[in-house]
Amino acid sequence: MNATSLHGLYDARFEHDSCGFGLIVNLDNLASRALVDAALLALERMAHRGAVGADGKTGDGCGILLQRPEAFLRRVAEQAGIRLGTVFAAGNVFLPHDPSAAADARRLLSEELARVEVHTAGWRLLPVNRDVCGERALQSIPHMEQLFVVPAAAMDQASFQRALFLARRRAEQRLHELADFYVVSLSAHAIGYKAMVLPAALRTFYPDLADPQCSAAFATFHQRFSTNTSPQWRLAQPFRLLAHNGEINTIEGNRHWAEARAAKWRSPAIDLRELKPLVSLTGSDSMSLDNMLEVLLAGGLDLLHAMRILIPPATSQLAARDPELAAFYDYYALSVDPWDGPAGIVLCDGRYAACTADRNGLRPARWLLSRDRHLVIASETGVYDIDPADIVAKGKLGPGEMIAVDLYSGALLDSPAIDDINRQRAPFQRWLKRGMQYLISDLIDPALAAEPFDPATLRRFQKLFQLTREEREDVLRVLAETEQEAIGSMGDDTPLAVLSQQTRSLYDYFRQAFAQVTNPPIDPLREQCVMSLATQIGREGNVFELSPDNARQVMLNSPILSQRKLRQLLAMPAFAQAHQRFDLYFDPATGMAAALVALTQAVEAAVRAGTVIVLLSDFHPQHGRLPLHALLATGAVHQHLIRAGLRCECNLIVETGTARDAHHFACLIGYGATAVYPYLAYQTLLELNRQQVVKAKRSGERTELGRSYRRAIKKGLLKIISKMGIATIGSYRGARLFEIIGLQAEVVDQCFAHTTSRIGGAGWAELTQDAEALHAAAFDEAIGIQAGGLLKFRHGGEYHMFNPDVVQALQRAVLTGDYADYQIYARQVNQRPPSTLRDLLALVPAATPLALTEVESIDALLPRFDSAGMSLGAISPEAHEALAIAMNRLGGRSNSGEGGEDPARYGTEKSSRIKQVASGRFGVTADYLINAEVLQIKVSQGAKPGEGGQLPGHKVNELIAQLRYARPGIGLISPPPHHDIYSIEDLAELIFDLKEVNPQALVSVKLVAHAGVGTVAAGVVKAYADLITISGYDGGTGASPISSIKYAGTPWEMGLAETQQTLRRNDLRGKVRLQVDGGLKTGLDVIKAAILGADSFGFGTGPMIALGCKYLRICHLNNCATGIATQDERLREHHFTGLPERVMNYFRFVAMETREWLALLGVRSLDELIGRSDLLAPLAGLGARQHGLDLRPLLAIDG
């Protein structure tokens, strides 16, 4: 049994935080007690920025970082019998309570200090008052001591600080298994105090902070709002240099590349090789950022230099305004990817006290300068008492701006002054002009492929790489014709790849990560100016060495290559003799895993011999040799080169037939590919063009088909990276921002290490069988290319859970009103081949079932049922009203969706009891809000998490435009983020505001299942939401990009179980009601969802089918044949036959079936069933893939 099986789905890696922060500094570097008091008071005034644990006293963490109060520290040292010299440093240290372990930690730290010629002067027991701690804080409180050290040899301040850093890092490496050892700070210029208490209790908890002699010239302070469910004192802030409000969306990639660059970076000031890993690979993102800043400062950079490299502004428009400054940022972008995400950061290194904001300016940072030369910066106003007449200047940091105080000179530096310092560090513009080469070809490729495949060869490749007729017509053709991703509707009702009886693409096992609540996605349409797909080719440079050699790179405008650009690149003098092709085929006798090992070793040898471009290619298939999937090869080679310390010496270019849509490219780039050449996509488009199937744009005599395809893919890539709030492709590369559903650990560890994969699945044997089947079909001329069936039901294709038989059976049942007919439908659903995870979870019947009369009534169950959010616009007014009438008559609730509602319906049975508040705020008025029983904040939607709602222009008629305050005929796309929710505390504010508008309403927050949704839900509970909806990937939609429908979000079974487990761990489960939606069809689904933790249940597609929907998947086209998903008056008038009674029949049938299952389980009510995971047992499933699944983590009592 693996660790996940034992401990459930919760993982500390999933935790997030957002916060309040501030900085107070005296420009003249004059220490005072008043400054410390002002900082502590400001911290108390930001208590609303934090959250309180279930015990009412445990905070998420707060702290203060002070300039070293020298007189105070000398006094307490003397009182403790510690002798200090002229130069000394002090720091606070968390230690284990076990005396022996604490003694070992003190001894090892002292040994490492001695190695760098620093003497341990003594340890002082740090006074603390535990009475202010809550129960949960006390459970994890460390033992605390204060360390005093002095230099044992002559050294300047910088050398002393560097010695302290080196000794601490070495000690941390030696003591990495001792979880309770943590150095809060050990510095010659500052000292930190932090605790898991409420801000008002900090100075009581640490009596040092209340001492009148504790004075300082600067103080940074921080209050944390975290989804953290296992209190960790070390994660409270400030850290050793900085305090951070926000979230580093790029953290996975940043950590990954820090690991890779540790072998490349060299500094004369310090040997970085012994500090691996350079940054913490676990813990909070802020901690890792603090680690990286320490490394850069220890390596010789100053704070202004380092922070502008790590968190640069957007530079796409900068070159025209300030080419020298743009050159500074462009130069360092070749060696360091930005640490991007919503970020407001205050920091101090002894010389500079500063604040910086991210490129989007998504975290507030307001400042004022007083007449007595104090600079105050905070995440909000009102934290510092000052007479307005004493304010000399004030403002707020804009996107990408920075402000700093030079404590040596007393100068206040704004962004232009800081930029002026940085641009003068070297002749960056001249270096780039001489070293950078831009790969420029004709904007219009004269041909998609210089050597077109003959028809037989093309068919062989299409079969080998699973390119079906459906994909060719509905995906590739649309990409090339429209320069946009294909749009679909109704969601995904096919089995997960690991459950499919078909041979599915490896890409189908990867689910895209997305941001929700704690960090917002970026809007790739409205914020395109901050985004970039620019990709460089060449060896990376050393960030600590200012050299023109670092600028010798080739720049591409995107990682998607045409044939001409690939050939042009390989022929360049720098790469003509420095590239090598590696074929991705292997002898079956070798085995797939062994073949990957051989490949990685061959690539390593080539790179050591001077290869700069590694070309991984499946362009030359051979009969008798099986294909190595390009994604397996890319992941394995990339992580092997990192371990070998060679990844920064080369670039990985993937020449593959497997990559056709944006998700495929995102997977390859996410696991390390520098660029991708999708030759089979080009060859297929060339064939369609020859057949005059695709409507190619023309420019003179030359087709623009390839360029149109690449434009569409680039838009898709920007959308995918924007879902995680990432602005540049460099920060996405190698970041592994996916969850794997259905691969064994042996595959994940070898190719996709550190990617979340929680339930096992297919291993090397099954992947080899897939390769054998594809190879056999490719070289069998009697077999044609497959028809497809992933997007729509096709006979002989992939199984669909809403297949025609299921649809017809349900409609027959609701029309006749006969429960026997419903039972036929229920059997078709409940006894289908395993298609969802719940299909592999069997009920555990009671030894003695109850009589049906002993089970709660249908009327008691119906209020737990909701119709899922479907907007008036996505569906017709008649359908929208029919759902509302049905649910109101049943005692359940209908959901308005995000398009508003006709005020004429308020107060009638046509009014939706749930009113949705989405990112576009369409139709949200005061009247709308007060006419609701539940106000649902839609953060994400199952069919397209990380994106906003979408209503095509042809569905925006006069009524829809009036309700949404829009113009008829204009398409409406909601932004991916709520522009007033950039953090968990922003969500708390919106929840508060909605309750102020409608005090009687419950407030619900809708989230989508993905790894970590449980910890997000914990934060939502702390924000005082009343309900949380967990949506599965298979939820319906009126319109969504197909790549989002197929590749984003995970099963609700995992999201619900993780949320249930996480809330129970944190004693929060009783404070919120959980709802689930996404593909629910029968009473058995209700029972299994309740066992996994759900209190209530949302149904979307089922009620639509009950109204008459034929599941044609044309909702987005406005020509629905049943008048349901259309605004066309003719279709609505002549074809809509849906009656509320049919929906009522459906829900009553579901309730009747639910009662039967309750009786079988020996449970009288649904309340008794919620969270009873002991009543489910995993099934073996069908075939080796399903046998490899381990669903026990879903059934853990808590995480």
Q: Which residues are catalytic?
A: 19
User: What is the rounded CA–CA span in Å between residue 169 and residue 149?
Assistant: 16
107 CB-contact burial (10 Å; exposed 0-12 / middle 13-18 / buried 19+): exposed
The encoded tokens of residue 417 equal 């002054």
Collapse the DSSP code of 105 into the 3-class scheme (helix H, G, I; strand E, B; otherwise coil) and give the result: helix
185 Ramachandran zone, left/alpha/beta (phi>0; psi -120 to 50): beta
Q: Is 410 left (phi over 0), alpha (psi -120 to 50) or beta?
A: left
With contact defined as beta carbons under 8 Å apart, do 46 and 199 qualify? yes
What is the Cα–Cα distance from 87 to 96, expressed in whole angstroms? 29
Give 102: exposed, middle or buried? Use CB within 10 Å, 0-12, 13-18, 19+. Answer: buried
Extract the tokens encoding 528.
């395109």
- Within 177-288, strands assigned E span 182-183, 190-197, 218-226, 242-246
Helix ranges (H only) for 526-612 are 563-570, 592-608
Q: What angle do CA 936, 938, 939 make, to 5 degrees?
A: 135
Say if CB 914 and CB 931 are below 8 A apart: no
- First-to-final CA distance of the chain: 16
Question: Phi and psi for 1185 in degrees, rounded to 5?
Answer: -60, -50
For the beta carbon of residue 1113, count every other beta carbon within 10 angstroms. Answer: 18
Nearest to 554 by CA among 674, 711, 450: 674
Going by C-alpha positions, the residue among 222, 183, 224, 411 that lies closest to residue 304 is: 411
φ, ψ (nearest 5 deg) of residue 341: 145, 170
Contacts of 619 (CB under 8 A, 6+ apart): 655, 657, 679
Q: Measure the CA–CA gap between 443 and 180, rounded to whole angstroms.
A: 59
E-assigned strands of 292-435?
343-348, 352-357, 366-370, 374-378, 391-396, 402-406, 411-413
- Which single residue is written with the structure tokens 């620093």? 118
Alpha carbons 569 and 572: distance in angstroms, whole number: 5
Structure tokens at 1014: 């449980």
Cis peptide bond upstream of 1140, omega within 30: no
AA identity, residue 719: K
Residue type, 6: L
